[in-house]
Amino acid sequence: MTLSALIRKRDTGNLATAISAISATQPKGEAATVARIATVAVANPKEEKTAPPAKSSRCWLLHYRDREPVECHTSGATRDDVLRWHPDTIAAEPFKEPRLTAPSALLTAEEETTIRAWLALIEETAPYTIADVLDQCRNDADARSYFMRQSEHEWLPEPIYLDGE
């Protein structure tokens, strides 16, 4: 069997190229030697594979070199986005958002007033943060329980109710 027959690809019938050994001579009339050059076969390129689309996630666990991992919640970001936003992060892994436990009853006006009083006491005045806390209390029994425990400490003043509430 010839060299070209060995190199020929059986399935496609395409040829690959090969470089055979090249002879070299020593200068000044010394004995001739053959350089040891390996035969190189060049294969035909296979179909290009496209990278899968980057996965986005709403919840990421960020790992740091010098501290504990931190949860990061986004509206939907890829790993590259999260690593760009948090440059001191050494790794980021997506995780599923925890399932919320629906409360058995609606948030009462008294509970909302108590939570608002606690937020005011700790000097949390940002409207979006207050709205977020109240939404958590309306939709997640564990969050409501946590915020109610925080607001029931003895050091909190009694809430003041307006007429009709």
What's the pLDDT tens digit per position in 10-19?
545 555 555 5
Domain match, 36 and 66 both: no
| Sign, CA torsion 133/137/143/145 | positive
Domain match, 133 and 111 both: yes
φ, ψ dihedrals at 75, nearest 5°:
-85, 0
Q: Looking at the domain assignment, is residue 51 inside a domain?
A: no
Length of the chain: 165
Domain match, 134 and 163 both: yes
Q: Looking at the domain assignment, is residue 32 inside a domain?
A: yes
Q: Looking at the domain assignment, is residue 39 inside a domain?
A: yes
Cβ(61)–Cβ(92) below 8 Å: yes
Q: Looking at the domain assignment, is residue 13 inside a domain?
A: yes
What's the pLDDT tens digit per position in 25-40?
455 555 555 554 445 5
Domain match, 161 and 108 both: yes
Q: Looking at the domain assignment, is residue 61 inside a domain?
A: yes
pLDDT value of position 163: 72
Domain match, 149 and 109 both: yes
Domain match, 89 and 64 both: yes
Q: Looking at the domain assignment, is residue 146 inside a domain?
A: yes
What's the pLDDT tens digit per position in 85-138?
999 999 999 887 767 788 899 999 999 999 999 899 888 899 988 998 898 899
% of the chain residues with pLDDT over 70: 59
Domain match, 40 and 61 both: no
Give the chain's domain count.
3
Residue 83: which domain range?
56-94
More confident residue, 59 or 54: 59
Domain match, 107 and 161 both: yes
Domain match, 66 and 123 both: no
Cβ(80)–Cβ(87) below 8 Å: no
Residue from 42, 44, 26, 46 nearest 34 by CA: 26
Domain match, 70 and 112 both: no
Extract the runs of DSSP E, i.e. beta strands, from the chain. 17-18, 23-24, 33-34, 41-42, 56-64, 70-78, 89-94
